[in-house]
Amino acid sequence: MATVAGAQQSGALTPKAKNAIRGAFLGFFVDMFDIYLPIVVLTPAIAYFVSPNLGTTATTIVSGSIFAATLIGRPVGAFIFGHFADAIGRRRTTIIAVSGFGVATLLMALLPGYEQWGMGAVIVFVLLRFVDGIFLGGEYTSASPLAMEYCPKEKRGFYGAIIMTGYPLAYATISLITMFLLFLMPSSGLNSPYVQWGWRIPFLVGAAIAFGFVIYYTRFVSESEIWEKTGGSEAPLKNLFRGENLKNFLQVFVMMSGFWLSLYTAAAILPGLLGDPIGLSKTNVTIALVIANVVLAGSYIAAGVISQRIGRRSLLIAIGAIMAVVVTFLYYLLVSTAPKNLFVVILLTTVITALVIWPWGLATTYINERFHTSIRASGFGLGYSLAVILPAFYAYYQAALANVMPFQYTALPLLVIGALLIIVGAAWGPETKDADFSEDVEVMPRERVEA
């Protein structure tokens, strides 16, 4: 206890803490790398897995199903692995989870296509992505709480943001790899090199990174000392969904629903609009998104540092207000004017992406601060993941809104609603930046949880 409390009070970062933070960052990086493989890498090669007689709409449904399978699997993984991370330890659970999605990603890289297996190839791919999502949900559910429990509270905002930069950096990396491969090999038809085997290379890279992470985590990352002192929890999920913990969970759920809904307007809808109606080529769209995500990584760190000074709650409320007014106007300006100048398009895309997604720099830190150590992994994993479900149907909401407005503007109401949910969720909860995790050691888990 003295080691943990001393580090938390002094603001010092111990060697164990450094290894845990590196591990959480690397884990989240490979997690996000894996998530976006089918969106970025497989889209130019989707002909490998579908019938040549399949129409555009059906092909789009197949592509969407491959991606959605992973999203559906993540809350399941958070449910399963959150329990084990609280009950048997964060470190062991992380190793199992990352090993699992490393194997799943490797199997995907080896899959035959429609010519060999017919529709069975797509069915197996979707099933593997679902299993992959389960294990992916276990990675951040266990690794992030471990890292946060080693961080001194004076630096949690900064290091939590560092961990979250795994998302934009992974997206930028996978986009650059795909652009480089498409430059070297064509993807013009079913028998082209990229469609037949080039798409497999990023999947093999993702599997290799996952296995490398497991080796690193096994050798260098220690179990959370705070978790070891509390002794874990025998029934973390039962404790999470009752009393004050249930109220905390619902507050996080509302706020994270806003996070996810607004995220889709920038990460899923905006890239498509850059092509039509704005008119960028695929290469220029990729360049714009890579630049936007590199800047986004910096905005994450800025959010973490600022929140350490003025508080998470105040910053989240301010961010929500800026998104609802300023960013919505900039989004409308970009879509309505469709600038012909590439620099202007990249600038607006970067500003919109950064201001919409930068509150995610606080997600790891804030949610972990909302829950006691005995249920922290379950609270973090489910609070982070379950909120994705309703926003994941954003395409249906767009279709409904298209009945009353032009389709290209349907992202704007979703952005405003997401911003309002962030404001309401943050205002509902307390300030958390001064939460002292070492206090959990001094209180028996059951006494604290049932209080």
DSSP string, 238-251: HHHTSHHHHHHHHH
pTM of the predicted protein model: 0.91
- In Å, what is the CA distance from 329 to each residue of 65, 167, 352, 409? 32, 26, 10, 11
Q: What does the alpha-carbon distance between residue 220 and residue 266 come to, in Å, rounded to a whole number?
A: 36
Q: How confident is the model at residue 67 (pLDDT cuts 50, 70, 90)?
A: confident
Other Cβ atoms closer than 10 A to 276: 10
| Total H helices, total E strands in the chain | 23, 0
Lowest mean pLDDT across 98-107, 127-136, 276-285? 276-285
Query: Which two tokens mark 332?
Result: 């409308």
% of residues, the chain, pLDDT over 70: 95
How far apart are the C-alpha atoms of 414 and 424, rounded to whole Å? 15
Segment 91-100 mean pLDDT? 97
**Diameter of the chain measured on Cα atoms:** 67
Tell me the C-alpha distance between 5 and 439, whole Å: 8
Burial of 392 (0-12, 13-18, 19+ CB in 10 A): middle
Q: Is residue 102 pLDDT above 80, yes or no?
A: yes
Confidence of residue 449 (pLDDT cuts 50, 70, 90): very low
- Name the nearest CA neighbour of 156 among 370, 323, 386: 370
Q: Is the pLDDT of residue 233 over 80?
A: no
Structure confidence at residue 354 as a pLDDT band (50, 70, 90): very high
DSSP H/E element including 161: helix 156-164
Secondary structure letter of residue 73 according to DSSP: H
Q: For residue 11, is pLDDT > 70?
A: no
The span from the CA of 28 to the CA of 146, in Å, is 13
**412-425 average pLDDT score:** 98
CATH code for 2-450? 1.20.1250.20
Paired tokens of 185: 């090999």
